[in-house]
Amino acid sequence: MSKKERNTFLSLVKRDLKVVWHPCTQMKDHEKIPLIPIKKGKGIWLEDYDGNQYIDAISSWWVNIFGHSNPYINNQISKQLDNLEHVLLAGFTHEPAIDLAERLVKLSPPKIKKCFFTDNGSSAVDAAMKMSYHYWKNKGFKKKSKFISLSNSYHGETLGSLSVSNIDLYKKTYEELMIDTIVVESPDCYLKNEKHTDKQHTEIMFDKMLKTIENNHKEVCAVIIEPLVQCAGYMRMYHPIYLKLLREACDKYNIHLIADEIAVGFGRTGTMFAYEQSKITPDIICLSKGITGGYMTLSTILTTNNIYDAFYDEYTKLNAFLHSHSYTANPIACSAANASLDIFEKKQIITKNKILSEHISKSLKSIATHDNVGDVRQHGMIAAIEMVKDKSSKKPYPWEERRGLKAYEYGLKNNVLIRPLGNVIYFMPPYIIKEREIDKVINVIEGAIDIATK
């Protein structure tokens, strides 16, 4: 690295810390933990101004699926830029949004017919909550105003989406601002009794959900759930049977099922959408993150004609769904999303991911035997490793010890970006990663565990 490059690196850090307030960050940490200005990204690699390269093993917060600066997506965006950068979606429309809505509907179960665009994950969840509540209101169910969600769930950080989330780290401080929701214990299989299979544990845990639904259904609009993996909730996983049982209970008690596929959608768990593994049709599906291949902010909620029709009325009845973001269905974002779907189709990504996830599974085998690893779990292209203080009791390390941070720093020194969630190191790479690159990441994760559990 030349002196000039070094100076640019240092000056960017200095300028940034003067004016930029970073997300999910105690800014004082940057007195000790270096901030890393990234100069470029190519494929799975990120490169900083110091010339260091890092494998993006967490897909930049789970958004990137076909690598950074993907030539095909770049090209499609660039074509779109020549035609139309943006237009409001009320009273006007455009081809990229229509194409995308048609394609998403086609990828969904037959009952899903409509696509309502929003512009980030949290706003999709807020809109889904409003849509469900408003549906019941339009149908004359005046008492239905509550939502059920799982303990350890994460649905976003706007006030609505945070209200249905249940991780203290993000929520506790803001408790008084939250709307009242009903929380049911998660089927999280990490917490299962060893004598049970994942399926048995999940079924047993569903009883708690069923009882809650039975006792509260008259006041409940919807159950909102992250299908199969509670991603921000330390990548905790459960068996697909839960969604099947939940679908049956929601049908029986007149409650919507909202599937928050924001993190697990677009191939992450081995199928295009995670709910497919339970063979169910949610009433509302929230999508974002991977939707644009990781290029831009865009989100959508998909729903049925049954829900749509409850809003379709004379203007003066004031039954229309009122939710609007300025950048709704931005054409450049939609063109990135269409390009990303092209790649899924042309390159048979879901089939190829099966081979990659089997390779991940094999490479992770040796990690499970580590003295301070309490669990290694995987759903398709999401793998997670739980570092524990005591293997037999699964006693966790106290959060104040920040073991995950030690793993993060070790990863960076060894050219791999991992960003553990507390004591959990996870691996969620772009789908273009090669087997030898998977081996490299897992090798670094092994080293990171050694350092972090010392």
User: Whose Cβ is closer to ligand PMP: residue 226's or residue 283's?
Assistant: 226
159/178 Cα distance (integer angstroms): 6
| Minimum separation from the CB atom of position 226 to ligand PMP (A) | 5
**Residues 103 to 162: which contact ligand PMP by CB under 6 A?**
120-122, 125, 154-156
Angle at 200 between CA 195 and CA 202, to 5 degrees: 120
Minimum separation from the CB atom of position 231 to ligand PMP (A): 5
Is 340 among the residues that bind ligand PMP (CB under 6 A)? no
Residue bearing tokens 């390390």: 397
With respect to ligand PMP, which residue has the nearer C-beta, 125 or 349?
A: 125
Interface stretch with ligand PMP, choices 225-233, 273-281, 300-308, 422-430 (CB under 6 A):
225-233
Length of the chain, in residues: 454
How far is it, in rounded angstroms, from Cα 324 to Cα 354?
38
Looking at the Cβ atoms of 264 and 452, the one nearer to ligand PMP is: 264
Q: Tokens 């897992």 identify what position?
A: 442
The neighbour count for residue 394, using CB atoms within 10 Å, is 13
CB of residue 346 vs ligand PMP: minimum separation in angstroms?
Answer: 27
Query: Of 333 and 373, which CB lies nearer to ligand PMP in the complex structure?
Result: 333
Query: Which amino acid does the sequence have at 309?
Result: D
CB of 124 to ligand PMP, least distance (A): 7
Closest to 127 (Cα-Cα) out of 118, 135, 115: 118
Q: Which is nearer to ligand PMP, 262 or 449 (CB)?
A: 262
CB of 240 vs ligand PMP, minimal distance in Å: 17
How far is Cα 287 from Cα 259, in angstroms, rounded to an integer?
9
Contact characters 254-293, ligand PMP, x per CB under 6 A = ------x-xx------------------------x-----
Q: Distances in Å between the alpha carbon of 175 and those of 200, 222, 249, 308?
A: 34, 21, 29, 33
Q: Which is nearer to ligand PMP, 276 or 437 (CB)?
A: 276
**Which residues partner with 424 through β-bridges?**
386, 421
Q: Which two tokens stand for residue 436?
A: 């030898």
Compare residues 24 and 368 and give the one whose CB is closer to ligand PMP.
Answer: 24
Applying CB under 6 A, does 300 fall inside the site for ligand PMP? no
CB of 143 to ligand PMP, least distance (A): 27
Q: Please, what is the minimum distance in Å from the beta carbon of residue 27 to ligand PMP? A: 19
Give min distance, CB of 232 to ligand PMP, in A: 5
d(Cα 366, Cα 370) in Å, to the nearest integer?
8
Annotate 354-400 with DSSP letters as a single string: HHHHHHHHHHHGGGGGSTTEEEEEEETTEEEEEEEEETTTTEEPPGG
| Residue with the shortest CB distance to ligand PMP | 121
Q: Which is nearer to ligand PMP, 43 or 294 (CB)?
A: 294
Residue 232 near ligand PMP by CB under 6 A: yes
> Smaller CB distance to ligand PMP: residue 288 or 335?
288
Residue 121 · residue 288 · CB < 8 Å? yes
| Contact with ligand PMP (CB under 6 A) among 223, 231, 382, 421 | 231
| One-letter amino acid for residue 275 of the chain | Y
Smallest gap from Cβ 325 to ligand PMP, in A, equals 12
Q: Which residues, in sequence order, are CB contacts of 406 under 8 Å at separation 6+? A: 448, 451, 452
Residue 162 or 416: the one with the smaller Cβ distance to ligand PMP is 162
User: Looking at 226, 276, 283, 386, which residue binds ligand PMP (CB under 6 A)?
Assistant: 226
Q: Which is nearer to ligand PMP, 301 or 307 (CB)?
A: 301
How many degrees, rounded to 5, is the angle at CA 53 between CA 370 and CA 44? Answer: 75
How far apart, in whole angstroms, are the C-alpha atoms of residue 327 and residue 390?
49
Alpha-carbon dihedral 300, 305, 311, 314, rounded to 10 degrees: 130
User: Total binding residues for ligand PMP by CB under 6 A?
Assistant: 14
The residues that touch ligand PMP, with contacts defined as CB under 6 A, are 120-122, 125, 154-156, 226, 231-232, 260, 262-263, 288
